Chains A and B, each alone.
Chain A
Amino acid sequence: MQIPIDTHTLPNGLRVTLSEDHTAPIVAVNLWYHVGSANERPGRTGFAHLFEHMLFQGSANVAANEHFELVQRAGGTLNGSTWLDRTNYYETVPSHQLALALWLEADRMGRLLPAMTQEKLDTQRSVVKNERRWSMDNQPYGTWWERLPALAFPPSHPFHHSLIGSMEDLDAASLEDVAAFFRTWYTPDNAVLTIAGDFEPAEALRLVGEYFGPIPRGAGRPALPSFAVPATFGDPAPRTVVEDDVPAARVLCALRSPVFGSDGWYDAQMTAAVLGVRRGSRLYRGLVRTRQIAADVGAYTFDLSRGSDLLVVDVMGRPGVPAEELERALHAQLDALQALGVEEGELARAQALVETDLIRALQGAGTRADRLSQFATYVGDPRRLNEEPERFRAVTAERVNAFAAARLVRENRALLVYVPRTASVAA
């Protein structure tokens, strides 16, 4: 199955991907800026995400929150999200509203700063602090997605620090920071724009040229610290035990793995599926179904594109099961795959699941656009999306075994262990 993909680059460096599909009168507009928490300077953790909030606070020709209102009034859906090494903004709208979605994105890419005020920044700072409390501080195990990257990358590494940010650093963020971050990173030559769905290419390109064409290229981006890390943690691999107000132990194991889009990344996807995706996976069969020491298991990658990705294996214990037992069982499963290799049937199962998921995901214009932007940003070519099925099919048992031998080793298992707080500690 192939989707049509056409690419263009504006003189200001904005890369544009078009993918036509006239099945339904729906069109998706999707912008990836190649900036995330990795680009934050010391003392400003959480800023990339706070900045994402500010992009909904208006621009020269759009009032605060009017972006949301105009898109919803047009019958569309929208949002944005921040990750370690990218930030995305997207709208899915009825196709006759394509111009509006493009115009809104261009107005904030070109003319954000006139709309920025201290009051808006203070309010969004407060919203984001509440987002931190809601998603992390007031949620059982909520700190895992701050703790795991901190465990898996050294302190100087761009992926080490918190994406949501510390309260202290959020307090320190200023309007000067907003201006500097915008001028440095939110430039057309640091972004990719994808339009997917029901549109006429000539008209879409005309609109893109009119709205985005005049926005000047950036003045250059500063070099970031090196993303390079060794392929494994070394002996002993990091391990952190967290006593928390949780009802059951949970063990999260992060393994350094090859970056998004590399051949090794496909090997990691297959290994993740064999280990922890759905009820037929090794960990589910072993820990959930047979031994009944875990309530659920999972395995997935962070999809990082620089230095190293992380393959995460996640084991949620049954209440009363000691963390040490979960850890031993997890190690035994990883040891077994590393020592004995994968069976052909397991690999066929993993490939069948991945293929269905891939095609299911392409049903929605928004997902199609987002994946095209992902490949354009991370590997420089959105056409890679059409190669996904064959790249997954090309993963052989030998490749999974080679991946397991290199990456499932003990010295590549960083462990984050949650244990229920004991009464004496809580007092």
Chain B
Amino acid sequence: MIPLETAPARPGPGQPRPWAFPHVEMRGLGDGLTLLAAPVHTLPLVSVLVVTAAGADTDAPGAEGLAALAARAMVEGTGQHDGASFALAAEQLGTAIDAGADWDGAYASFTALAPKAEAAMALLAEAVVAPAFPSREVERLKGERLADIAQTEKEPRGLAEEHFAAAAYRGGSRFARPLGGTRASVGTFDAAACRAQHAARWRRAGSTVIVVGNMTVDGAAAMVERALAGWRGAPAPRVPVDDARTTAGRRVLVVDRPGATQSELRVGHVAVPRTHPDYFPLVLGNAILGGLFNSRLNMNLRERNGFTYGAGSGFDWRRQAGPFVASAAVETAVTEPALREMLAELEAIRAAPVAPSELDLARQYLDGVFPLRYETTGAIADALAARVTFGLPEDWFATYRERVRAVTGEQVQAAMQAHLDPTAWQVVVVGDAATVVPVLERMAIGPVSVVPEQLP
């Protein structure tokens, strides 16, 4: 052991080196298709991401999960390839064509070695322009979704998330139902439904192709134009999702998991859309509350009390109002003190200004870590897709860090007061009802109800 006095002094920072988000060039490719190309020549890789307005937000009532199923089914057979040979063709190029939907959009993508990008792009175009939707594959994907639902019903995190969403939104909201759909909705789908979804939503007009990597802008434009020459049409108009909160006030829902060794806790409510002007104060406020390792929730529930492996919180940013939720998995026996501490932290972040040291930590982290987020072509492509999906300004990445640095403690507190509402908490506890229900009733947070271990 070295005597303490001889330990080298804690060093300060050196001189920061400049960094900029890769230059992005935008080009119209005709008939409403846009190219975003970001040449990055570090390694011989190219990432391509097609983004279109075919997200789960477009699912009609009763057809929840169709956007996700149709997007996945696009890579399961085309005019030229059946599902198996399509996968093999991509994998022989060392890549895979992935397709899927999230709440606000749908995508098809790959990352390949640069010399293989042109051939991979041709495969991606087959799936996007002319998917065949073979019945056998659509039925298989439906079966896999049903298997996925069965798995989620035995998995406490998935159960907690789905029950929280169902509790938080007004009944009938698309956001109250699972992104991939329910047993009832999935059961109604067939190849024709997938074909109709593709015909209505996966259209050229309004879509964006993002190309990031070892390729010039002209090279990217030529590749995309060639591959997607046959893509036509404009999508059906987008109807906004009902993103209103439940009219129920504060309440507690227990999802009974008999004998569970932990309680999965969720506390939150519907918050605000991604483009809300309070975005930055909310991001900073959440970092302090539950976003960072050294956040209040994690320091309290994990590091002071040892109740959990980790506690945190987050805003789920969507085009329309997504939820804010705090979460932790705690030992069953400490459900009461853990939930009490969680609720207290959610009150405290509104009640008093954040400490300057906390604000500095959050600002310095979000500012400093920004370049680290964009080390890969895939991460850059995903970031550009988010810019497109949310309609963010072109200077978003150039101004992000200065906007983080400009947030004040007053703005944080005002935003947390404005957008977190303790009278509206929807509390979900996935755990052993026999143990936790008496405890939750004693806590008098709100009416307590119990449901079995099934998806809503």
A97 to B151, CA, bound (A): 44
Interface residues in A, total, Cβ within 8 A: 84
B45 at the interface (CB under 8 A from A): yes
* Contact yes or no, A134 B84, CB < 8 A: no
B344 at the interface (CB under 8 A from A): no
- In the complex formed, the residue of A with least CB distance to B303 is A65
* Contact yes or no, A247 B307, CB < 8 A: no
Interface window among B87-95, B243-251, B412-420: B87-95
* Contact yes or no, A75 B369, CB < 8 A: yes
* Contact yes or no, A349 B154, CB < 8 A: no
Q: A75-B372, A111-B7 are in contact. Are A123 and B304 (CB under 8 A)?
A: yes
- In the complex formed, the residue of B with least CB distance to A364 is B375
The smallest beta-carbon distance between A258 and chain B, in angstroms, is 25
Neighbour of B144 across the interface among A74, A207, A295, CB < 8 A? A295
* Contact yes or no, B94 A107, CB < 8 A: no
Neighbour of B19 across the interface among A25, A319, A345, A356, CB < 8 A? A25
* Contact yes or no, B93 A352, CB < 8 A: yes
- In the complex formed, the residue of B with least CB distance to A199 is B14
* Contact yes or no, A127 B309, CB < 8 A: yes
* Contact yes or no, B306 A130, CB < 8 A: yes
**What residues of chain A lie closer than 8 Å to B361, measured between beta carbons?**
69, 72-73
* Contact yes or no, B293 A68, CB < 8 A: yes
Q: A124-B306, A248-B147 are in contact. Are A130 and B331 (CB under 8 A)?
A: yes
Q: A75-B364, A345-B92 are in contact. Are A318 and B147 (CB under 8 A)?
A: yes
A335 at the interface (CB under 8 A from B): no
Interface window among A30-38, A135-143, A146-154, A403-411: A135-143
Neighbour of A25 across the interface among B18, B294, B302, CB < 8 A? B18
Neighbour of A198 across the interface among B17, B154, B262, CB < 8 A? B17
The smallest beta-carbon distance between A202 and chain B, in angstroms, is 14
Interface residues in B, total, Cβ within 8 A: 79
Interface window among A98-106, A226-234, A325-333, A378-386: A98-106
A33 to B35, CA, bound (A): 47
* Contact yes or no, B11 A99, CB < 8 A: yes
**What residues of chain B lie closer than 8 Å to A360, measured between beta carbons?**
45, 111, 376, 378
A72 to B370, CA, bound (A): 12
B399 at the interface (CB under 8 A from A): no
A214 at the interface (CB under 8 A from B): yes
* Contact yes or no, B143 A103, CB < 8 A: no
Q: A98-B14, A110-B7, A130-B329 are in contact. Are A319 and B147 (CB under 8 A)?
A: yes
A215 at the interface (CB under 8 A from B): yes
* Contact yes or no, B151 A247, CB < 8 A: yes
Q: Which residues of B1-29 have CB atoms within 8 Å of chain A's CB atoms?
A: 1-2, 4, 6-8, 10-19
A73 to B357, CA, bound (A): 10
**What residues of chain A lie closer than 8 Å to B10, measured between beta carbons?**
61, 100, 103
* Contact yes or no, B360 A73, CB < 8 A: yes
* Contact yes or no, A95 B17, CB < 8 A: yes
The smallest beta-carbon distance between A12 and chain B, in angstroms, is 11
* Contact yes or no, B292 A72, CB < 8 A: yes
Q: A92-B372, A134-B309 are in contact. Are A356 and B88 (CB under 8 A)?
A: no
* Contact yes or no, B8 A130, CB < 8 A: no
Q: A245-B154, A280-B91, A356-B94 are in contact. Are A96 and B309 (CB under 8 A)?
A: no
B96 at the interface (CB under 8 A from A): yes
**What residues of chain A lie closer than 8 Å to B111, measured between beta carbons?**
356, 360
Interface of B is mostly: mixed
* Contact yes or no, A24 B19, CB < 8 A: yes
B410 at the interface (CB under 8 A from A): no
* Contact yes or no, A279 B87, CB < 8 A: yes
B44 at the interface (CB under 8 A from A): yes
Q: Which residues of B84-118 have CB atoms within 8 Å of chain A's CB atoms?
A: 84, 87-88, 90-96, 111-113, 116
- In the complex formed, the residue of A with least CB distance to B431 is A138
* Contact yes or no, A97 B4, CB < 8 A: no
A395 at the interface (CB under 8 A from B): no
The smallest beta-carbon distance between B295 and chain A, in angstroms, is 10
A325 to B352, CA, bound (A): 61
- In the complex formed, the residue of B with least CB distance to A214 is B2
B83 at the interface (CB under 8 A from A): yes
**What residues of chain B lie closer than 8 Å to A111, measured between beta carbons?**
1-2, 4, 7
A360 to B116, CA, bound (A): 14
* Contact yes or no, A295 B294, CB < 8 A: no
Q: A130-B309, A364-B375 are in contact. Are A279 and B15 (CB under 8 A)?
A: no
* Contact yes or no, A356 B143, CB < 8 A: no
- In the complex formed, the residue of B with least CB distance to A103 is B11
**What residues of chain B lie closer than 8 Å to A10, measured between beta carbons?**
none
A113 to B1, CA, bound (A): 9
* Contact yes or no, B303 A123, CB < 8 A: yes
Neighbour of A94 across the interface among B113, B304, B308, B368, CB < 8 A? B368
The smallest beta-carbon distance between B358 and chain A, in angstroms, is 10
Q: Which residues of A22-76 have CB atoms within 8 Å of chain B's CB atoms?
A: 23-26, 60-61, 64-65, 68-69, 72-76
**What residues of chain B lie closer than 8 Å to A356, measured between beta carbons?**
94-95, 111-113
* Contact yes or no, A289 B140, CB < 8 A: yes
**What residues of chain A lie closer than 8 Å to B42, measured between beta carbons?**
23, 363
**What residues of chain A lie closer than 8 Å to B6, measured between beta carbons?**
214
* Contact yes or no, A75 B367, CB < 8 A: yes
**What residues of chain B lie closer than 8 Å to A198, measured between beta carbons?**
17
The smallest beta-carbon distance between B166 and chain A, in angstroms, is 20
Question: Would you mind naming 24 contact pairs between A and B with Cβ atoms under 8 Å apart?
Answer: A61-B7, A65-B293, A68-B294, A72-B364, A73-B360, A75-B370, A75-B372, A76-B368, A76-B372, A94-B17, A100-B13, A126-B305, A129-B331, A130-B306, A138-B329, A140-B155, A278-B91, A280-B91, A289-B83, A349-B92, A353-B95, A355-B113, A360-B111, A364-B375
Besides the contacts A130-B331, A278-B91, A280-B88, what 20 more A-B pairs have beta carbons closer than 8 Å? A23-B42, A24-B375, A26-B375, A73-B360, A95-B14, A96-B14, A100-B13, A110-B2, A130-B308, A134-B329, A210-B8, A214-B2, A280-B92, A349-B91, A352-B93, A353-B91, A359-B43, A359-B44, A360-B111, A363-B375
